[in-house]
Amino acid sequence: MSSCVQAELTCFEASCRERFAITEVLYNCPKCGGLLEATYSGPRPSAAELRDLFRQRRLSNAPLDTSGVWRYRELFPFLNDNAHVVTLREGNTPLLDAPIAAQYGGLDKITFKHQGFNPTGSFKDNGMTCGASQARRLGMQRVACVSTGNTSASMAAYAAAAGLEALIFLPHGNISFGKLAQALEYGARTLEVEANFDQILALVRVLAERLGIYLLNSMNPFRVEGQKSIIFEMLDQRDWNPPDWIVLPGGNLGNTSAFGKALREAHELGLIQKMPRLAVIQAEGAAPFYELFHQGGELHAVTNPETLATAIRIGDPVSWPKALHEVRSSCGTVEKVTEQEIADAKAMIGRAGVGCEPASAATLAGIRKLTAAGVIGKSADVVAVLTGNVLKDPDYIYKYHTGKLETPSGAKIRATFGNQSIVVPNDPDRIAALLQ
């Protein structure tokens, strides 16, 4: 892409930092087992040149420029040729104000960066366009992932667009219908395994190695590169004025890793002068990162993670070493929230006219706790990232509003902000009487 910049894969472990060619098919460091990241060396344009370039591209109709990911391609220059790019014009997601949600969260103002506006309805598209493009560049025929739903929907779409065969592994019975439906519609071979996400990830790693399939889970360093664009686009939309806090839900922690890397790189390149703080929110029944952050040591996996926010039902997040580094170096924090708190926050985001899927609502629930505890100030400038579209999990919505939602252990969730539909006869007098 840029002939003078050199891209490599580098071990993330500070004690190793072994480097590999960018075209090697690796997910972990062969020397120490650490996570890998894409690193770049060589001359880069100045911050002013980059800002101008990104702004100019908004006037262009070229496919790469109209993608809210590839518009920022100088900030992840791992491809040698743009012809490899597969784009569905991902990104381009809005920043939305939501006064009702701000008030609920204990803030004067909140801004949602809504990744649910993506082509397959989640932030996964930001990363998948890069992962699928790298798969094409490597000459791969088949791609695979395990997923709580959104990764599979996204991978299925990008594989189809790229002419790759998609193989999807899902935890049977723990994926929302909207997401499963997407995988089928985009033509992926879909296997529902009777195991949880963490167990299936171990299985898929073995199969990928044995069958020579390219893995597109979030430890794939190119997906992380693409997800950095969520931050770059948000900063560009704010004229490179960073917020005080960026709040996001945490599952496998790929997004937390991507956000931290994006912020550090934007800072190093002089695109921003100040580092925002990261706040990662987990569901109480799947909160190993919360425990790690507050207790220190190594990550203790949760063997039976449970949450109705199935997107973040993960007990053994692979990217925790990166995520821990990013949250610590941003002076950030990690919070956990209950099923009731997620459900009510989600309804509030809906009332604001914004809407999102359950995992995304963990952000507002977490903000409410963090403002109450005085960690986030009332007047702080907060961007919360909504990771998935409201229509991803309609079953959850219907159950909440009709008072039928229950936690995984069978406790009732109150429909605090419930809104039920009413069945009426085809009779104008009776309907008018009801509406008076």
Binding site for ligand F0G (CB under 6 A): 122, 124, 147-151, 218, 249-256, 311-312, 357, 359-360, 387-388
Q: State which residue, 151 or 182, has the beta carbon closest to ligand F0G.
A: 151
Q: What is the smallest separation between the CB atom of 120 and ligand F0G, expressed in angstroms?
A: 10
d(CA 140, CA 136): 6
Q: State which residue, 71 or 179, has the beta carbon closest to ligand F0G.
A: 179
Where helices occur in 138-218 by DSSP H, the ranges are: 150-162, 177-185, 197-211
According to DSSP, residue 346 is labeled H
Q: What is the smallest separation between the CB atom of 235 and ligand F0G, expressed in angstroms?
A: 19
Q: What is the smallest separation between the CB atom of 392 and ligand F0G, expressed in angstroms?
A: 7
d(CA 221, CA 332): 23
Q: State which residue, 124 or 369, has the beta carbon closest to ligand F0G.
A: 124
Q: State which residue, 74 or 233, has the beta carbon closest to ligand F0G.
A: 233
Q: What is the smallest separation between the CB atom of 251 and ligand F0G, expressed in angstroms?
A: 3
Q: State which residue, 54 or 256, has the beta carbon closest to ligand F0G.
A: 256
d(CA 119, CA 92): 10
Cα dihedral across residues 164, 167, 170, 173: positive or negative:
positive
Q: What is the smallest separation between the CB atom of 409 and ligand F0G, expressed in angstroms?
A: 22
Q: What is the smallest separation between the CB atom of 369 and ligand F0G, expressed in angstroms?
A: 18
Q: State which residue, 255 or 371, has the beta carbon closest to ligand F0G.
A: 255
Strand partners, 277: 245
d(CA 399, CA 420): 10
Q: What is the smallest separation between the CB atom of 227 and ligand F0G, expressed in angstroms?
A: 8
Q: State which residue, 258 or 272, has the beta carbon closest to ligand F0G.
A: 258
Q: What is the smallest separation between the CB atom of 90 and ligand F0G, expressed in angstroms?
A: 15
- Which residues, 6+ apart, have CB-to-CB distance to 311 below 8 Å? 148, 149, 150, 249, 251, 357, 358, 359, 387, 388, 392
d(CA 161, CA 186): 9
Q: State which residue, 256 or 371, has the beta carbon closest to ligand F0G.
A: 256
Q: State which residue, 111 or 151, has the beta carbon closest to ligand F0G.
A: 151
d(CA 229, CA 236): 10
The answer to whether the beta carbons of residues 360 and 377 sit under 8 Å apart is no
Q: What is the smallest separation between the CB atom of 5 and ligand F0G, expressed in angstroms?
A: 26
The answer to whether the beta carbons of residues 98 and 110 sit under 8 Å apart is yes
Diameter of the chain measured on Cα atoms: 77
Where helices occur in 84-191 by DSSP H, the ranges are: 99-104, 124-137, 150-162, 177-185
The answer to whether the beta carbons of residues 111 and 384 sit under 8 Å apart is yes
d(CA 48, CA 41): 19
Q: State which residue, 34 or 250, has the beta carbon closest to ligand F0G.
A: 250
d(CA 409, CA 359): 18
Q: What is the smallest separation between the CB atom of 269 and ligand F0G, expressed in angstroms?
A: 24
CA dihedral 215, 218, 219, 225 (to 10 degrees): 110
